[in-house]
């Protein structure tokens, strides 16, 4: 029986999963109906709004006139302005950038000043209403009220497709604003009219990505009556121009309801490649068909996991989380395989080259989720990272559009590479992968020189020393496991030793991870509550949160804290303690339960640590609360930055009932599932079925688990068990089970590799 047959029947038929696999149906369920892209557009979610396809290079959507942290994606629900439809956006990041190749339709006299927060008067921006806005996977529509223009957008992987419906006007224009961007500034822009319907050019800019280059080609469905070029607001003669803030204006006389379509291809290499991308991906002008194809692309990805729940609300939260999780890493090469490398040179990849690696965020759950559900895509991710290593001498830290931003602490590509290797993904060179992780860890920059010589990073030498040191310890454990599997005993011993250096930050007097300035002196004064962000020893957090950042050796941390009873008691206090964490990081420190901060990644594994102490019901209580309270279907329905899929990955894993507390050891720790049934459609035609019995808002505790019909008492599930396929039944109840997951032999071991 083929995989697709199993996929279809699992959701369409309202019956048990085992029986459903033997019944025939003809209709494929449309899971995109459960995606609400507006979730996360309010509060600090920072998600992208617009049209794209999974992992697409193009993220075509509206950009507001608003500026600041909550406009990192270019769009915030509180705003009612649109300055243009731009072809690149970030989703869920804490820093803004991109917003390249801005297109804006207008009517009336030509106006190339977009407006600004300080000077809105006279700008070409338009107001809009959310009531006149339609947002679906692969499709965006809005009415620009200032001009009574209906704008519709869709996309392929490398091409943005615009459809503008105009009112009657003798002065209809489409502005191409190459100076406009999000939180960056253009350094050089160029535009050229190639023929009556084609315009090409480029935008070079400096922002978070310090040397970003993007080329474009725009093809119009109708020859314009005029074409003008401007530098800032000054008209330039001729059909081409190079400058800093170059703009092109394509003009028409239109009849009521007339549609002008524009295909905009983008490329990291050349305008010629941008045209090639259009020719290969979007050769015709069928807008409706392109919308349908984009929807189908999303639907195909969403169908990897089918769920049945008690409510539509739960389905919307789940499939919206899957949608957000598939935004990035994004394609960064042309249809001919060419891309610009970190070294500034032209490369041709035999794989799909990717960018937007938010690794400090995503290594915790988003990348393990890809490893489980997207192993082919993971191969492209790892090959892209290895190419970056070859070009810049280290694995990416936070890579964006051929730029190393070095944002965040640690070398978080290492757990991602190790996870892929340890779980048996073979579509990359394992020897090159090991060379890359080892070389990256043995550098002498970003505090590693102190790790190599002292075993800790002195607090007075490096900002965020504790956070950085703890992340390096996780990285080193991952390298050690790769070395062990590759029969490199001396490397294994060396990196295993370094992975225990987290102990050097533990102050037995305060019982917290703390900055130290020497072998005998700790940083003082000290408070576990206070964090001054860039001025102390933690990254977007405090000592309460970072004391638990030892997912690779929970057993060793338990010993440091005084044993399992003390470990559990401190966890209890963690979820209760109140204190001032400092206003400087209030945007990142959100979703609080005591000192637990779900709005930021260092806390994400902590609720699952109770299982290591034989108290899985405590995990269940906290996880169920987070699932219900910190994820909603409203615009403010994500409690912190989406962070390029990590917040959503936590929700996906946790609602299925388990989570990778150690992101690379292949063990998923059980929590409290909110789905009633789930079908994981895995590579090789394997299917893993989950059936949750007696689930309800009251019955949040696992009573027993049956795996392929056999009683399963362990409070964790190995990766290899899931990918082999099978059936798991979870029975829930209103009170903690006194036996399930309690005994020592049934608890997860964080330092053990389960692959």
For the chain, helix (H) and strand (E) counts, in that order, are 19, 38
Residue whose entry in the numeric block shows the structure tokens 């730029």: 403
Q: 3-17, 404-418, 458-472, 610-624: which range is least confident on average?
A: 3-17
Q: Is residue 210 part of a domain?
A: yes
Query: pLDDT, tens digit, for every residue of 539-557?
Result: 999 999 999 999 999 999 9
Query: Which residues 6+ apart lie within 8 Å of 301 measured at CB?
Result: 54, 322, 326
pLDDT at 587: 58
Question: Which residue blocks in 403-447 are alpha helix, DSSP H?
Answer: 413-422, 430-441
Query: pLDDT, tens digit, for every residue of 700-745?
Result: 999 999 999 999 999 999 999 999 999 999 999 999 999 999 999 9
Q: In 3D, which of 575, 599, 580, 596 has the Cα closest to residue 588?
A: 599
Helix (H) or strand (E) holding 371: helix 366-373
Q: Checking DSSP bridges between strand 726-733 and strand 687-693, what pairing results, if any?
A: parallel
- Say if residues 730 and 673 touch (Cβ distance below 8 Å): yes
- Say if residues 379 and 406 touch (Cβ distance below 8 Å): no
Tokens of 465: 């020393």
CATH of the domain at 221: 2.70.98.10
Distance CA 81, CA 142 (A): 11
Query: pLDDT, tens digit, for every residue of 304-318?
Result: 999 999 999 999 999
Q: Is residue 706 part of a domain?
A: no
DSSP reduced 3-state for 347: strand
Q: Is residue 462 part of a domain?
A: no
State phi, psi for 348 to the nearest 5 degrees: -125, 120
Alpha-carbon distances, residue 127 vs 80, 115, 230, 321, 447 (angstroms) = 5, 12, 24, 29, 48
Q: Is the dihedral of CA 323, 327, 329, 332 positive or negative?
A: positive
Distance CA 93, CA 97 (A): 9
Q: Is the pLDDT of residue 24 over 60?
A: no
Question: Which residue blocks in 442-515 are alpha helix, DSSP H?
Answer: 448-453, 465-485, 489-499
Q: Is residue 152 part of a domain?
A: yes
Helix (H) or strand (E) holding 292: helix 287-302
Q: Is residue 68 part of a domain?
A: yes
Q: Is the pLDDT of residue 301 over 80?
A: yes
Number of domains observed in the structure of the chain: 1
Q: In 3D, which of 81, 98, 31 has the Cα closest to residue 644?
A: 98
Q: Is residue 175 part of a domain?
A: yes
Q: Is residue 531 part of a domain?
A: no
Alpha-carbon distances, residue 235 vs 229, 241, 251 (angstroms) = 6, 11, 14
Strands (E), 372-420: 398-400, 403-404
In DSSP terms, 205 is beta-bridged to 186, 212
Q: Is residue 277 part of a domain?
A: yes
The count of C-alpha atoms lying within 13 angstroms of the C-alpha of 677, restricted to the half-sphere facing its C-beta, is: 17
Alpha carbon dihedral 59, 62, 63, 66, in 10-degree steps, equals -140
pLDDT at 581: 55
Distance CA 36, CA 30 (A): 14
Q: In 3D, which of 661, 657, 740 has the Cα closest to residue 695?
A: 657
- Band of residue 119 on the pLDDT scale cut at 50, 70, 90: confident
Query: pLDDT, tens digit, for every residue of 583-601?
Result: 444 456 889 999 999 999 9
- For residue 244, the enclosing domain spans 47-299
Query: pLDDT, tens digit, for every residue of 326-380?
Result: 999 999 999 999 999 999 999 999 999 999 999 999 999 999 999 999 999 999 9
In DSSP terms, 169 is beta-bridged to 254
Distance CA 5, CA 685 (A): 10
* Cis? peptide before 525, omega within 30° of 0: yes
């Amino acid at each position: 029986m083929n995989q697709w047959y199993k996929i279809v029947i699992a959701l369409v038929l309202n019956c048990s999963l085992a029986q459903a696999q033997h019944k025939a149906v003809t209709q494929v369920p449309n899971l995109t109906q459960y995606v609400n892209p507006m979730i996360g557009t309010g509060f600090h979610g920072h998600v992208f709004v617009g049209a794209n396809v999974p992992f697409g290079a193009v993220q075509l959507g509206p950009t507001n006139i608003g500026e600041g942290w909550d406009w990192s994606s270019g769009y915030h629900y509180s705003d009612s302005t649109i300055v243009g439809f731009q072809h690149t956006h970030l989703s869920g990041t804490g820093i803004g950038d991109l917003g390249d190749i801005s297109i804006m339709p207008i009517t009336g006299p030509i106006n190339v000043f977009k407006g600004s927060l300080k000077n809105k008067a006279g700008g070409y921006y338009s107001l809009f209403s959310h009531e006149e806005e339609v947002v679906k996977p692969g499709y965006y529509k809005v009415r620009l009220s200032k001009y009574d223009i209906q704008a519709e957008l869709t996309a392929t992987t490398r091409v943005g497709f615009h459809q503008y419906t105009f009112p009657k006007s003798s002065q209809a224009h489409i502005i191409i604003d190459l100076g406009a961007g999000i939180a960056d500034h253009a350094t050089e822009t160029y535009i050229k009219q190639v023929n009556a319907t084609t315009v090409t050019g480029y935008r070079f800019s400096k922002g978070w990505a310090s040397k970003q280059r993007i080329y474009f080609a725009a093809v119009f469905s109708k020859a314009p009556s005029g074409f003008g070029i401007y530098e800032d607001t000054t008209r330039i003669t001729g059909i081409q121009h190079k400058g800093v803030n170059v703009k092109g204006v394509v003009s028409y006389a239109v009849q009521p309801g007339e549609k002008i379509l524009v295909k905009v291809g983008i490329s990291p290499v050349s305008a010629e490649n941008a045209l090639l991308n259009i020719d290969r991906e979007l050769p015709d002008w069928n807008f409706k068909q392109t919308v349908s194809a984009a929807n189908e692309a999303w639907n195909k990805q969403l169908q990897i996991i089918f769920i049945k729940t008690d409510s539509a609300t739960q389905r919307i939260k789940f499939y919206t989380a899957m949608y957000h999780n598939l935004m990035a890493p994004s394609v960064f090469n042309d249809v001919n395989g060419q891309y610009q490398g970190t070294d500034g040179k032209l490369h041709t990849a035999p794989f799909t080259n990717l960018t937007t690696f938010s690794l400090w965020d995503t290594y915790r759950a988003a990348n393990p989720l890809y490893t489980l559900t997207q192993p082919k895509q993971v191969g492209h991710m790892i090959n892209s990272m290895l190419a970056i290593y070859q070009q810049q001498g280290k694995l990416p830290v936070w890579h964006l559009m051929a730029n190393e931003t070095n944002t965040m602490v640690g070398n978080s590509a290492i757990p991602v590479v190790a996870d892929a290797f340890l779980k048996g993904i073979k579509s990359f060179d394992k020897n090159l992968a090991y060379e890359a992780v080892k070389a990256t860890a043995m550098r002498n920059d970003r505090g590693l020189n102190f790790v190599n010589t002292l075993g800790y990073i002195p607090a007075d030498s490096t900002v965020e020393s504790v956070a950085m040191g703890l992340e390096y310890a996780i990285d080193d454990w991952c390298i050690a496991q790769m070395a062990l599997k590759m029969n490199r005993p001396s490397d294994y011993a060396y990196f295993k030793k370094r992975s225990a250096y987290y102990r050097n930050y533990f102050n037995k007097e305060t019982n917290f991870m703390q900055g130290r300035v020497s072998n005998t002196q700790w940083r003082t004064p000290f408070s576990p509550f206070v964090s001054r962000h860039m001025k102390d020893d933690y990254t977007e957090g405090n000592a309460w949160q970072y004391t638990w950042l030892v997912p690779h050796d929970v057993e060793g941390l338990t010993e440091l804290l005084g044993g399992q009873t003390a470990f559990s008691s401190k966890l209890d206090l963690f979820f209760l303690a109140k204190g001032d964490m400092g206003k400087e990081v209030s945007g990142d420190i959100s979703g609080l339960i005591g000192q637990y901060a779900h709005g930021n990644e260092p806390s994400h594994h902590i609720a699952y640590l109770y299982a290591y102490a034989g108290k899985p019901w405590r995990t269940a209580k906290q996880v169920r609360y987070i699932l219900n309270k910190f994820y909603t279907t409203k615009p403010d329905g994500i409690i912190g930055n989406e962070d390029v899929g990590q917040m959503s990955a936590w929700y996906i894993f946790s609602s299925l009932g388990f989570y990778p507390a150690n992101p690379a050891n292949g063990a998923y720790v059980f929590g409290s599932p909110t789905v009633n049934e789930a079908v994981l459609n895995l590579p090789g035609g394997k299917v893993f079925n989950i059936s949750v019995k007696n689930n309800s808002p009251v019955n949040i505790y696992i009573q027993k688990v049956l795996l392929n019909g056999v009683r399963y008492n362990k409070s964790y599930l190995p990766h290899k068990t899931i990918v082999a396929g099978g059936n798991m039944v979870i029975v829930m109840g209103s009170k903690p089970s006194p036996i399930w997951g309690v005994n020592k032999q049934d608890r997860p071991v964080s330092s053990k590799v389960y692959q």
